[in-house]
Every structure is written in C-alpha cells, then in structure tokens.
Amino acid sequence: MSIGETLAAARQQAGLTVTQVSQQTRIRETIIRAIEHDDFSSCGGDFYARGHIRSIASVVGTDPVPLIREYDQEHPASGMRAAEIFEPATPIKIREPRPFGLGKVLIVVLLAVIGFGVYRLVSTGAGSHPSASATHHPTASPKASATIKPVVHTPVPPVAVIKVTAMQDCWIGFTSPSGKQLYQGTILAGQSKTWREKHVVSMVIGNPPGIVLTVNGRAETMSAVYPLTLSINPQSKTPVTTG
C-alpha cells in the first residue's frame, strides 16, 4: 500500500472523517485528501510534506516512521532541508559605522566659533542703540487725573417706630397736631401692629392695661387712665409724653 492509502485506511479504521483529522492537525481538508491520493504538490515542499505525514499518522493511530522513510525513497532530492527554509537566500551584510574623522571634528568646532562670534556681534550692536520700548513717555499731567469728590451723607430724618401688641381688644387712634385723623381702629387680642411716624403724633389708647406698647424698641408703662393720650415726637430722645 502507498503512503496515501495507508493513511486513508488507518483513518477509516479509527472511525474519523477528513474534517475531524483536519480539526486535530490544523491541516486543510484539501491537503489531507490530496495526501491520501499520494499527491504532495500542495504541501509546499518535502519539509512540510514530512510534517503533514507525521501529524496525520499520529491522529489516525499509525506509525509515521516507515511512511516518512518511504516518502524519502520516492522523493530523494526534490525538496529543501528545514535549515534552508529559515535561512535567507542572500547573506545580509551589516555595515559597521565609520569612525568620525578628525577633520570633521575641526569643521564642527570652527562653525561653532564663527556662530558664537556672529551672535556676540549682533547682540552688542543691538545693545548700543536705545530700544523703541525704552522711549520716554511724558507722564500725564495731574490735571488730567479724575478729581475725587467727597461723599456727602444726607442725614436720615428720625423715625418713631411704634408697636402695639394686644393682650385684650383695644381701640387705637392717631391724630396730627392740627387734629387730623391719621388712623383709628381696634386691635384684637393676640394681634400686633406697627407704625412708623416721622412727625409728632397724638396716640389715643382705649384700653391701656390690655396692650404692650414699645417706641423705638423701648417698652412704655401704661397707666389705668381710660382713654390714655400720648404725644410721640420722633425728634426727642424720650419721644413719649403724656398728653
């Protein structure tokens, strides 16, 4: 039996298909079928053909040694050695770096000296002339500066802040010195009301004991006079007087 017939018979005896052998050996199915028909042209050379024979024989359970020996007898000098496959056809020549000559070193040094001299000459010439940025600019005249005006604080007229908190219902009235009625009404128990007066007013309280009166935050003492009349003057340090 030939090499291909032996491998095909061993595969069939092992119960394997070409696809299964291809999956285990990573060899294409077309190449396996060609080898089973003793066609090794698609292997890519004797080196790969021997490797394929060895791989397929190992999977199907047959000895690859006599098959490879038979292949070498049938193909004595048609292939390449394994070493030849991985060796380049033309040797690669590596060029060794040439030493940097003394003449080149002198040329580089000379160019550096010339460049430094030119730099010094240019910088010295530039420093002998006044820069345009150094031109003297006259300072602005003090007259051109803005005049700072003093801040004038307008005095705020005094205000009498009157607050009534009712503990009992209480009638409240406000009149001007000329007798004009400014406010009148009843503040119910539990309520508070605040007035801000800039002028002298007369305040009439119908139930003095029933309220808490503060003027500018100061509590005023309520007498038992019914009704009680108070004169409140925002200009006075003690704005409340009994009328």
154 within a domain of the structure (yes/no): no
Three-state secondary structure string covering 169-210: CEEEEEECCCCCEEEEEEECCCCEEEEEECCCEEEEECCHHH
Task: Name residues of the chain where pLDDT drops below 70.
Answer: 77-101, 124-146, 237, 243
Predicted local distance difference test score (pLDDT) of residue 79: 46
Return the pLDDT at 38.
92
What would the two tokens of residue 207 be? Answer: 């139930």
Domain boundary among 86, 107, 128: 86
Instruction: State residue 185's pLDDT score.
Output: 92
Instruction: Give the pLDDT score at 131.
Output: 47
Q: Is residue 93 part of a domain?
A: no
Q: Do the domain assignments include residue 47?
A: yes
**Of 71, 86, 101, the domain-final residue:** 86
Q: Tell me, what DSSP letter sits at residue 68?
A: H
Residue 173: what pLDDT? 93
Q: How far is residue 117 CA from its own chain's centroid? A: 50
- The residues, ordered by sequence, that sit 6+ positions from 220 with a Cβ below 8 Å of its Cβ are 213, 214, 230, 240
Say what the pLDDT of residue 104 is.
Answer: 79
Q: Based on the structure, what is the number of domains in the chain?
A: 2
Has residue 133 been placed in a domain? Answer: no
pLDDT at 210: 85
Query: Has residue 172 been placed in a domain?
Result: yes
User: CA–CA separation, 164 vs 81, rounded Å?
Assistant: 120
Residue 80 lies in a domain: yes
Model confidence pLDDT, tens digit, residues 141-179: 555 556 777 777 777 788 989 999 998 899 999 999 898
What is the CATH number for 40? 1.10.260.40
Domain ranges, residue 217: 160-242
DSSP-based three-state secondary structure for 87: coil
Distances from the Cα of 86 to the Cα of 10, 46, 160, 238, angstroms:
33, 14, 111, 118
Say if residue 222 is exposed, middle or buried (CB neighbours under 10 Å; 0-12, 13-18, 19+).
Answer: middle
Assigned domain for 120 exists? no
Q: Which of 86, 110, 129 is the last residue of a domain?
A: 86
Q: Which residue matches tokens 């508070």?
A: 192
Cα 183 → chain centroid: 65
Q: Which residues pair with 173 in a beta bridge?
A: 184, 204
170 with 207: CB under 8 angstroms? yes
Cα–Cα dist 168/190, whole Å: 7
CA–CA distance, 142 with 149 (Å, rounded to integer) = 15
Measured distance CA(164)–CA(230) in Å, rounded: 13
Asked if the structure places residue 217 within a domain, the reply is yes
